[in-house]
Structure 1
Amino acid sequence: MERFEAGRPITVAMTKWGGRPHWHWAGTYLGADDEGDWLGYPAGTRYAKPGKAFDADWVSVGLVPRHDAAHLTVFNRPTATGDNPGPINAEIYVDMATPAVWEDTVLRSIDLDLDVVKRWDGAVEIIDQDEFEEHQLAYGYPPEIITMAEESAERVYDAMSSGLAPYAGSAERWFAILDSLA
């Protein structure tokens, strides 16, 4: 079921545990399928967090999975010049996070540090384990949050490594929709 009409502006507002500000950016609602809600982030999207901001020179689509999954996925497309997206350096980037919640057109979630990425050469890896361990102590993650993030990372890693949906071509339809809205 479509949450909004395609083309509706949305905002993604991430925090760290305890309400600490984190990444914030705007996008466009693209539609929904069995996997979840799909969001578009055109080239020029400004990503900002305290002390850091950049404008993307690449196009991305995001997936907010159904069923209260504990992650958010972003699929990246190389720039028109064929360069790989700047600081992301990944074809697919999945943040382990609390299940996302919509508040009207604002999507909110808490980033839990662990990430699963598929590099441009096809390598799949879990990254930022050191940050995850540091923040468990510094921010006081409850045991159930630690377990949720670790189990979610393993499930995403396994699915991505096995080439299962949505990590094997599901995003192409949504890139085409984003392109048609430009």
Structure 2
Amino acid sequence: MRNGLVQLGAWAAATGAAVALSWFGVHAVLTGAAFEQPTALPLPSPAAKDVAAAESATRSPSASRVESTPEAALGTATQRAAAPATSTPPPAPAPTTAAAPAASRKPAETSVRSFLVPGGKVALDLRPSSAELVSATPDPGWQMQVWHGDQWMRIDFSKGGDANSVFVTWNGHEPDVQTVVR
């Protein structure tokens, strides 16, 4: 009987030590890597848009169409990756019409705008008849909560008794953004 209790005690001690060692190892890795505060991407300034528009105006139309079609770039990369390693050169790829449909499509009119309220930043993609949340980043110590419906959205930043909000509505009209600081 005593021999069984000694074995049970040794097993419990070894198991406890293994669990504790594993927990401390995983905890040390996850503390620094997995739970970092997310950061918002920087939004381009209006001056950067003017520079980009000037650069695109100096390019030839065919060059800008080829660069702006991810389908064409993906197709070229796939063809290169799929080519077998042989001593003869691979045949020239057949001309594709993937660039033509992409060039005829007009991009949807969008405008990403950033709103700064005490407690955080909100980036919204405001379209002519709708709005979409791009990012909402609370300041350190603040909490963020989002509510949305079919034609409205509310983003709150709160800390203690303070709460600041961004309201967006687009019920039959262009999106209207209002900030409320309390």
TM-score (norm 2): 0.21
Larger RCO: Structure 1 or Structure 2 (Cα < 8 Å, ≥ 6 residues apart)? Answer: 1
Which of structures 1 and 2 has the bigger CA Rg? 2
- Structure ranking higher in strand proportion: 1
Relative to total residues, which structure has the larger helix share, 1 or 2? 2
